[in-house]
């Protein structure tokens, strides 16, 4: 309480001396700049940083003698959490995987030269193909977590050898 009284007394004394002239006015600017960007797991990733396994695109269990088209959607890992500032110009590029041939992505039966081709799309209607290393725009309309739009389609030929067919892709995000 003693400091408060001294301060008030000093202000009243100063005002009495300056009184009629008034105090000079000065202004200053308060500024903040918000830049567009993204966080992975609540952190700004370093350039070209690998952040982990994004998820899986699982076409399921298929009968060996059947043929036809099957679809799948990327199920993102709960370990990867992506958020971006609304309006951020986010782009995704996906490589050809480990078994690409002439621009065609393929899953491979382990330890063999047997493959099944598949395609990736950026929409559930399978209209927007995702080419090998071709930038695909991702719309960022809110700061909510982003689920990357990756859908797959595989045409299974008849007489496919049984076993687990696999591929591993790398996704690069740019903003």
Instruction: Note whether residue 15 is domain-resident.
Output: no
Three-state DSSP at 28 gives: coil
pLDDT of residue 63: 81
Q: Which residue has 């300056």 as its token pair?
A: 18
Which segment of 10-19, 100-109, 110-119 scores lowest on mean pLDDT?
10-19
Instruction: Note whether residue 11 is domain-resident.
Output: no
- pTM here? 0.78
With residues binned 3-state (H G I as helix, E B as strand, rest as coil), the percentages for the chain, rounded to 5, are: 10, 30, 60
Instruction: Note whether residue 41 is domain-resident.
Output: yes
> Could you tell me the CATH number of the domain that includes residue 134?
2.60.40.1090
pLDDT tens-place string over residues 9-40: 333 344 444 555 778 889 999 999 988 899 99
* Alpha carbons 147 and 72: distance in angstroms, whole number: 15
| Number of independent structural domains in the chain | 1
Boundaries of domain holding 165: 35-174
Look at 23 and 135; give whichever has higher pLDDT. Answer: 135
Instruction: Note whether residue 93 is domain-resident.
Output: yes
Instruction: Note whether residue 29 is domain-resident.
Output: no
Instruction: Note whether residue 123 is domain-resident.
Output: yes
């Amino acid at each position: 309480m003693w400091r408060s009284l001294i301060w008030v007394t000093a202000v009243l004394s100063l005002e009495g001396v300056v009184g009629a002239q008034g105090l000079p006015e000065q202004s200053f600017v308060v500024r903040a700049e918000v830049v567009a960007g993204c966080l992975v797991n609540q952190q700004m990733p370093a350039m070209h940083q690998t952040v982990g396994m994004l998820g899986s695109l699982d076409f399921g269990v298929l009968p060996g003698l059947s043929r036809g088209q099957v679809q799948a959607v990327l199920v993102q890992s709960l370990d990867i959490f992506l958020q971006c500032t609304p309006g951020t110009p986010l782009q995704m590029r996906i490589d050809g995987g480990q078994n690409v041939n002439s621009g065609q992505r393929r899953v491979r039966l382990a330890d063999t030269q047997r493959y099944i081709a598949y395609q990736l799309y950026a929409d559930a209607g399978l209209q927007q193909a995702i080419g090998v290393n071709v930038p695909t725009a991702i719309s960022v309309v809110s700061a909510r977590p982003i689920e990357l739009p990756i859908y797959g389609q595989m045409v299974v030929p008849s007489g496919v050898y049984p076993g687990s067919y696999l591929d591993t892709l790398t996704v690069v995000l740019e903003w």
